[in-house]
Amino acid sequence: MFFFPLQIQTFNVEAPCQTVEDLTNGVVMAQVLQKIDPAYFDDNWLNRIKTEVGDNWRLKISNLKKILKGILDYNHEILGQQINDFTLPDVNLIGEHSDVAELGRMLQLILGCAVNCEQKQEYIQTIMMMEESVQHVVMTAIQELMSKESPVSVGNDAYVDLDRQLKKTTEELNEALATKEEIAQRCHELDMQVAALQEEKSSLLAENQILMERLNQSDSIEDPNSPAGRRHLQLQTQLEQLQEETFRLEAAKDDYRIRCEELEKEIAELRQQNEELTTLAEEAQSLKDEMDVLRHSSDKVAKLESQVESYKKKLEDLGDLRRQVKLLEEKNTMYMQNTVSLEEELRKANAARSQLETYKRQVVELQNRLSEESKKADKLEFEYKLLKEKVDSLQKEKDRLRTERDSLKETIEELRCVQAQEGQLTTSGLMPLGSQESSDSLAAEIVTPEIKEKLIRLQHENKMLKLNQEGSDNEKIALLQSLLDDANLRKNELETENRLVNQRLLEVQSQVEELQKSLQEQGSKAEDVSRSQSPSLPKKTQELLL
């Protein structure tokens, strides 16, 4: 990729542009185009670019399509150039897969707009301030794009000559830059050689000094026949050769420096010529722009006439479409009202369902209470049976005591009759009957002491039995009667509660059945409404909305 995000930062854009992914959404490119030409790429055009796209590749592709169309229109309308034989970038690959090669083509088109706009001198100066490797890549991209560009309409021969001269000057400038790079590389190599030779010279001087010290200690250097003298002559000749090589390299270095200065002067002259040619090209471009504006206005007139005809045809169908839209809106309002009513009924049904759940819980509680009360009733009935058996046994005992009492009374009566008969037999011939008191006293006197004692004892026992039987019978009967009354009352209460619970259960079951029926009817109505709420629009309406 020829144009890195760090070079995009020279435009001082607001959006982040640190990585390749930051460029794929198109926001940075749109802001750069607005920096290049704020009059053409105005705020209305920039507002059409979606900023909050995230990872949605469809929105990225839409932004990139708008940017590519804006670049092509800018080249055609403002710069008056047509890009031929240049492979346009595939925005689908950029937006969906972040393709670096396609992104490079898109940035190459933006670079072409920058070096051909009104502020091109500023951008060219910025490019010249970059590193040499980056300059080379950028100039190659510009040259490739300019070779694919051609004027929209053929003008005067002077404009064609200016374009050719501008391209030739650009080529010469590129060659001069390449020569400058080669000379700078050669100077660097010579500097390295000089530094190596100087290091070697210093090492040889050090070695020479050491040898001189050794020579002073041993033989004389002046004697050429001695080994030290021969070594001295060899070193001296080697030193002279190295000095000559050093002088030669320094002379070559000076020559290259002079050549480099001459080339820099030539580059300055070429830049000046390039500026003059750019001014002439701007004047030619302004004239081309005027011609393009006139030609574009004539094209717009023809397009507007065709659009007016198409709009007339569309207006003929607009009345029918409005009526259809009105009918659809009425149906939609009716469906919405039905939906609201169904939602209200559904809320009521949910409330009834919750109430039904409470009724069910109450029924379960009542059934539990009923089972408990039935258990209590069974227990009370069992106790009632036991008490009834006790009452029956006491009643039998009472009857037995009554029969015994009656038998005792008969015995007493018989004894009284026997006593009366005996008294009458003894006193019938002696004295007349006087009064009841005299006869009783007489009978008492005639009764023997054993009979009298037995009679008294029997009377006392009869009296005690009567008192005990009456007290115990009355208490037991009262207790049993109260228990019987309580049991009957509880039984009646449980029977009434059971009847009420059964009636409530039947009412709840009928309500549950009614709610189930209403819910089924509402569900069927909701399905019918959902099926009927998706009507198909007519084909003409769909085309108009699209």
Q: How far apart are CA 41 and CA 31, in angstroms?
A: 9
Residue 482 structure tokens: 């109260």
Handedness of CA 46, 50, 51, 55 (dihedral sign): negative
Q: What pLDDT is recorded for position 218?
A: 53
Q: What pLDDT is recorded for position 418?
A: 83
Weakly modelled stretches of the chain, pLDDT under 50: 1-6, 153-156, 219, 428-446, 534-546
Residue 409 structure tokens: 């009374």
Q: What pLDDT is recorded for position 542?
A: 47
Q: Do 228 and 220 form a contact (C-beta atoms < 8 A)? A: yes
pTM: 0.32
Q: What pLDDT is recorded for position 199?
A: 86
Q: What is the pLDDT of residues 220-232, one digit of tens each?
A: 555 566 666 677 7
Q: What pLDDT is recorded for position 546?
A: 42
Superfamily (CATH H level) for 1-152: Calponin-like domain (1.10.418.10)
